[in-house]
Amino acid sequence: MAHLVTKTDVEYDSVNHQKTDIYYNSDAQQARGALIDIHGGGWFRGNKSKDADSSERFVKEGYLVVTPAYRITPEAFYPAPLEDMDRLFDWLKQSDLPFDHDHIGAFGSSAGGNMVVELAIKYGIPIVSLSGILDIDDWLGKHEDVVAAEGDTSGFNSTASANINQTGANDPFYKWFVTNYFNGRTDQYEEATPYHRVTDQTGTMYLANSLNEFVPTSGVLTMAKTLAEHQIPYTTRMLTGSRHAKGYLDDVWDDVVSFLDRTV
């Protein structure tokens, strides 16, 4: 029986005073590795407590988990959340937390899925991305006629991430929160689209998406093609229906754990 220890609001970034929660098993002298668990919310809603559920599940699989807050709109825009994750990664590598520091992976959903892919590209670590926002420039270029609309997002802060916007494709909402991330700027779309920056040193990826959800499947398909061109191993999982990100976590859980066991 694992003895779960949770440390909340530990500052990892002395510049912008961003904080993380830490989860680990106090019975284990050292965790097998660390996982960074990045919450979703379209870069405009959500907080680290939304991923307490997945973080605790990963501890039971032998990992120490850090679940960070990061700057979101309208306080900050692209690339601020990615800069926060760079500081988190450096902080984690230098920490004296009880895990094997040679073994770090990441798990993220939706906007968090985009951010873990960025970590794989920058640091070569294995990642799991559920419904990651991976296709930005090409999708926006092909959907110029879509009128961006926020819709009713009032439930984002109080609703479990597994229960948000599961009614199928929603191009106006997708366009709204993606363009909102750039605060009206249109010159950053290409640099913010991860597959343009894949190299031979990119980390292995597990990429999942529902076939009829508001995050388009094009991101996973283009990323998979790009990874193959660079000889980077990857796993993709396409699920029926319209569930978004952690909405299908139970369906992919065994897959995800197996992937992390092999790669982290």
Q: What CATH number is attached to the domain comprising 103?
A: 3.40.50.1820
The H or E element spanning position 205 is: strand 205-210
Residue given tokens 């948000």 in the structure block? 164
Q: What is the pLDDT of residues 153-211, one digit of tens each?
A: 554 444 444 444 456 788 899 999 999 999 989 999 999 999 999 999 999 999 999 99
Residue ranges making up the domain that contains 81: 4-263
Q: What is the pLDDT of residues 89-137, one digit of tens each?
A: 999 999 999 999 999 999 999 999 999 999 999 999 999 999 999 999 9
Taking residues 8-19, what's their average pLDDT?
A: 97
> How many degrees, rounded to 5, is the angle at CA 81 between CA 97 and CA 147?
150
β-partners of residue 235 are 206
Query: In residues, how long is the chain?
Result: 264
**CB distance 134 to 64 below 8 Å:** no
Taking residues 244-257, what's their average pLDDT?
A: 96
Measured distance CA(95)–CA(164) in Å, rounded: 34
Domain count, the chain: 1
Sign of CA dihedral 82, 83, 86, 88: negative
- Residue 151 is predicted with a pLDDT of 76
What pTM value is reported for the model? 0.94
